[in-house]
Amino acid sequence: MNIQFLFENGKGSVVDEYGRPEPMDYIVDEEQFRLETLSSHTQYLAQLPLESEKRIDAMQVEKEAKPNGDVVMRETSVKRNYTRYSDQDKVRFFKLLFERCLSAAAAAKQLGIHVRTAQKWAAQYEKDPDSIFEKGRKTGRPRILHDEHKNAILECIDENPSIVLDEVMKKLKQMFTELKVSKTTLFDFVKQYCNLSLKKARLQPIDRNSEEKIQERLDWVHK
């Protein structure tokens, strides 16, 4: 700490120990020490570019009722609203996707589901159908074929017991024009829900049972 002694010189002026005038009497060179009024914090934030404004979204400006109008900054967490969809929502979505042949966007809009979420489900279903459902719940894949399809299949088989799976699929698509089902899905449905056993048809050449072929086999046996 510096100590400075001041004295009265008898002429009504105050000087220091070296006879120099009091420092408070110095004349400040305004050109050399030019001062400007600093902007307030609020004005500073208002003049920031748009990219910088995005970085302070987590800051909430709160003015306090004070005479000096100070601004208090407090940090708040940014909260985002996420919609959680159930497995039933997903089943209804895939039912529209497969049975009515709607696009993912169209089915999502009809059910009030976010379009990007629905498109993600569709892409994920192509890779692994079971992965879109919540773990720990055995919901299985959404059924494409139901009781009305089962009745139609049984009716086709009653009319023609030797009907093949391709013909059954063809008739189903004629009866249910919006149905989109694979041959494997139809095969599994017939076995599981229709309680029918299917055998693969084996095609044989026409001349297999001809008289000439039978005689050739008979002659070969007697050799």
Strands 14-16 and 59-63: unpaired
Q: What is the mean pLDDT of residues 184-191?
A: 82
Among residues 98, 88, 21, the alpha carbon closest in space to that of 6 is found at 21
pLDDT at 76: 45
pLDDT digits (tens, 9 = 90+) for 176-185: 888 888 888 8
Q: 15: burial class by Cβ within 10 Å (0-12, 13-18, 19+)?
A: middle
Residue given tokens 């000439």 in the structure block: 212
Give the pLDDT band (50/70/90) at residue 205. low
- More confident of the two residues 33 and 184: 184
Half-sphere exposure (CA, 13 Å, Cβ side) for 30?
1
Give the pLDDT band (50/70/90) at residue 201. low
What pTM, to 2 d.p., does this model score?
Answer: 0.29
pLDDT at 218: 66
Bridge partners, 111 (sequence order) = none
